[in-house]
């Protein structure tokens, strides 16, 4: 049997949310939703795991602070300890206070850029990437739900079409995957 | 889910739909620019070119072309630097701090304010670079291995902290801005018909798809970046103030500088946002998205930060007397009554007295008055930095080295030039970039749109009774 992807389009976010709830309640797996804006609450309805990007930001931040400490310790304490007005740089601990601003800035720098780069890579949004939304109107005012028959083999096709029909979509498109 | 109390005034006026939001924001990009835009762009480019010419002359001839002398070693250069950095504080404050506080009104101004931030920080960064005199050695501010030892930069110095603070602030603000722009570029990409535009926005939008997981990540990234940017905003201007506060110059050596500079920065940043947005809303017919309520909110921020600045000025005066340090007392007496009295009183009038007029509701809800005040505050905040820098320096400990600073045409030209470059960039931004966050405005339409709040003419409170969410 040819696998199919069904794209059901809605003209309102609430209709799509209700539709998704209805489908999920009837054991249909909704694989994705395309929308022009973030839909709050859709993740838990269609079962999308929370993102772990915040954790990566924390890890990049830790990396940043450690790098800053190592770097400043090497430059200011070990390699060339400056003696300014008879106040030499003896150890990282003793001279720590005046290094704090740069520790902080470097931490933020690493956390923010690290997370942003991870975000772009994970989303597959990088310069030159082709757009992959099923319909250009999904970035304007239409909302599309993607349902794959391969993920819903436990439901008869006629039952599935009936369930989708109940959601009150605007347009529907079926694509066969060979 | 979309309910909001009727007490809260709607943020989006008119009978708008999702489609209308897209149309209203993208229309100016698709349409050919009006004549006034070309005229303004030409004027800005001419001023920018004049400024670039002055910078080239300055670099070719030397910093001696500025009006600096032995006593006043920092004048317009650092005044302009601090002024631009201050202006650059509103954008990230709006998008980060107001995001953490879930203030929905930020969507009317955040995109344009962030653009303003980025351009303003670029202008700010120019001044420390050119004031070093040898621009081509500008990379020496970074801790790079070199053949002098290696001799490293001094991590104890507030000037180096500034390098790190400004470059972090600039790059993080840029990333924050761009991440918000990606979905909106995708909206433009999927809509415009001109092939060159289609191709350009296809590249700019990075292949944004708008699937549920992407939006999930988008929200998380925005939140965490806001969390990182909030302390960053406060740290940047604190560090700028350390440039002065850690020195031993009477008038600079003050512990209240960091909070005083930060609130001053927010104050001037919001003023510049008003200056720019009040014109933009009219020119691009965005009155439904940015209206009196938004202006009033901004004016309230201006009263609060302006009052903090006012209290700081008075505290400074009090402490200079209370400290009993003669030099400190004299520095402040000299500010108010010395040869630079005019700049001190210009600063006091513009920054302390005039914002207090916003206590009157009629004035703070008047768009014309707000625009006028925003210009006054921009001028006042420039004078604040001038007062802090030049009046503290011009009378040294030894009366034989007392001087008066006169700006030369190069001083004025470079400053005007940065205004020209800033407006050139801003005009280009407003033409080709979405000036309002399209995707984010759509998220507040149902809760804060006038038509939804009034239930499409079905009477107030309709949605409270009938929506099942």
Total-model pTM: 0.91
Q: Mean per-residue pLDDT for B72-83?
A: 91
Q: Do B189 and A57 touch (CB under 8 A)?
A: no
Cβ partners under 8 Å of residue B375, min gap 6 = B271, B275
Chain A residues close to B24, C-beta within 8 Å: none
Q: Which residue of A has its CA nearest to B212?
A: A33
Distance from CA of A1 to the nearest CA of B (A): 27
In chain A, residues under CATH classification 3.30.70 are: 3-49+131-177
E strand segments, B301-455: none
**A158 half-sphere exposure, CB direction, 13 A CA radius:** 0
CATH of domain A3-49+131-177: 3.30.70
Q: What is the pLDDT of residue A1?
A: 53
Q: Mean per-residue pLDDT for B280-295?
A: 86
Q: Mean per-residue pLDDT for A38-44?
A: 85
Chain B residues close to A76, C-beta within 8 Å: 152, 154-156
pLDDT band for position A119 (cuts 50, 70, 90): very high
| Cα distance between residue B4 and residue B289, in whole Å | 18
Q: Is the pLDDT of residue B468 over 70?
A: no
ipTM: 0.90
Scanning B159-188 for CB atoms below 8 A from A yields 160-161, 164-165, 167-168, 171-172, 175-176, 179, 182-183, 186-187
Angle at B299 between CA B238 and CA B11, to 5 degrees: 115
| Cα distance between residue B66 and residue B77, in whole Å | 9
Taking the CA atoms of residue B39, residue B40, residue B41 and residue B42 in that order, the dihedral angle to the nearest 10 degrees is 50
Q: Is the pLDDT of residue B170 over 90?
A: yes
Average pLDDT over chain B reads: 88
Beta bridge partners of A143: A10
The 10s digit of each residue's pLDDT in A144-164 is 888 888 887 787 878 878 887
Whether chain B has a CB inside 8 Å of the CB on A98: the answer is yes
Question: Which CATH number does the domain B18-143+150-456 belong to among 3.40.50.1220, 1.25.40.10, 1.20.1630.10, 1.10.10.1200?
Answer: 1.20.1630.10
E strand segments, A12-142: 32-34, 83-84, 87-88
Structural domain spans, chain B:
18-143+150-456
Q: Is the pLDDT of residue B4 over 80?
A: no
Q: What is the pLDDT of residue B469?
A: 42
Which helix H or strand E contains A132, and what residues bound it? none
């Amino acid at each position: 049997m040819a696998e199919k992807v069904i794209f059901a389009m809605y003209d309102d976010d609430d209709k799509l949310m209700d539709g998704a709830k209805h489908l999920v309640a009837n054991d249909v797996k909704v694989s994705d939703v395309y929308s022009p804006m973030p839909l709050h609450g859709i993740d838990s309805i269609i079962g999308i795991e929370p993102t772990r990007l915040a954790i990566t930001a924390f890890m990049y931040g830790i990396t940043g602070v450690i790098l800053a400490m190592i770097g400043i310790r090497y430059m200011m304490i070990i390699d060339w300890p400056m003696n300014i007005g008879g106040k030499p740089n003896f150890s990282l601990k003793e001279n720590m206070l005046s290094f704090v601003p740069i520790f902080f800035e470097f931490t933020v720098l690493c956390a923010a850029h690290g997370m942003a780069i991870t975000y772009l890579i994970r989303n597959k949004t990088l310069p030159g990437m082709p757009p992959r939304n099923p319909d250009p109107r999904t970035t304007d005012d239409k909302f599309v739900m993607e349902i794959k028959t391969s993920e819903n083999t436990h439901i008869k096709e006629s039952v599935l079409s009936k369930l989708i029909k109940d959601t009150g979509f605007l347009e529907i498109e079926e694509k066969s995957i060979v | 889910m979309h309910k909001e109390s009727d007490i809260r005034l709607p943020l989006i006026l008119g009978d708008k739909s999702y489609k209308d939001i897209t149309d209203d924001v993208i229309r100016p990009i698709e349409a050919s620019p009006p004549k006034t835009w070309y005229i303004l762009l030409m004027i800005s480019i001419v001023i920018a070119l004049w400024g670039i010419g002055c910078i080239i002359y300055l670099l070719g001839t030397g910093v001696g072309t500025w009006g600096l002398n032995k006593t006043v070693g920092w004048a317009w250069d650092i005044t302009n630097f601090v002024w631009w950095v201050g202006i650059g504080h509103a954008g990230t404050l709006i998008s980060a701090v107001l995001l953490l506080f879930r203030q929905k009104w930020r969507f009317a101004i955040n995109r344009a304010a962030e653009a303003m931030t980025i351009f303003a920080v670029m202008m700010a960064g120019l001044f420390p670079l050119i004031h070093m005199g040898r621009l081509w050695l500008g990379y020496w501010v970074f801790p790079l291995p070199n053949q002098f030892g290696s001799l490293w930069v001094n991590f104890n110095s507030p000037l180096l902290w500034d390098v790190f603070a400004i470059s972090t602030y600039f790059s993080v603000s840029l990333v924050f801005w761009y991440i918000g722009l990606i979905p909106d570029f995708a909206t433009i990409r999927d809509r415009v018909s001109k092939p060159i535009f289609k191709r350009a926005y296809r590249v700019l939008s990075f292949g944004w798809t708008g699937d549920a997981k992407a939006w999930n990540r988008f929200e998380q990234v925005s939140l965490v970046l806001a969390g990182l940017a909030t302390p960053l905003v406060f740290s940047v201007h604190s560090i700028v103030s350390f440039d002065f506060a850690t020195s031993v110059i009477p008038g600079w050596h003050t512990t209240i500088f960091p909070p005083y500079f930060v609130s001053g920065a927010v104050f001037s940043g919001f003023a510049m946002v008003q200056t720019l947005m009040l014109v933009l809303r009219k020119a691009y017919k965005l009155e439904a998205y940015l209206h009196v309520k938004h202006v009033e909110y901004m004016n309230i921020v201006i009263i609060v930060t302006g009052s903090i600045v006012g209290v700081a000025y008075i505290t400074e005066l009090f402490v200079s007397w209370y400290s009993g340090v003669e030099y400190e007392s004299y520095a402040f007496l000299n500010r108010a009554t010395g040869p630079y009295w005019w700049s001190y009183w210009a600063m006091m009038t513009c920054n302390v007295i005039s914002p207090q007029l916003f206590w009157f509701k009629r004035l703070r809800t008047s768009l014309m008055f707000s625009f006028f005040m925003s210009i006054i505050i921009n001028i006042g905040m420039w004078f604040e930095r001038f007062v802090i820098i030049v009046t503290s320096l011009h009378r040294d400990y030894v009366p034989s080295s007392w001087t008066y600073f006169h700006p030369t045409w190069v001083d004025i030209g470079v400053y005007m030039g940065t205004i020209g470059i800033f407006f050139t960039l801003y005009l280009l931004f407003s033409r080709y970039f979405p000036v309002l966050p399209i995707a984010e405005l759509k998220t507040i339409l149902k809760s804060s749109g006038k038509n939804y709040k009034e239930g499409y003419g079905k009477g107030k409170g309709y949605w409270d009774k009938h929506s099942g969410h």
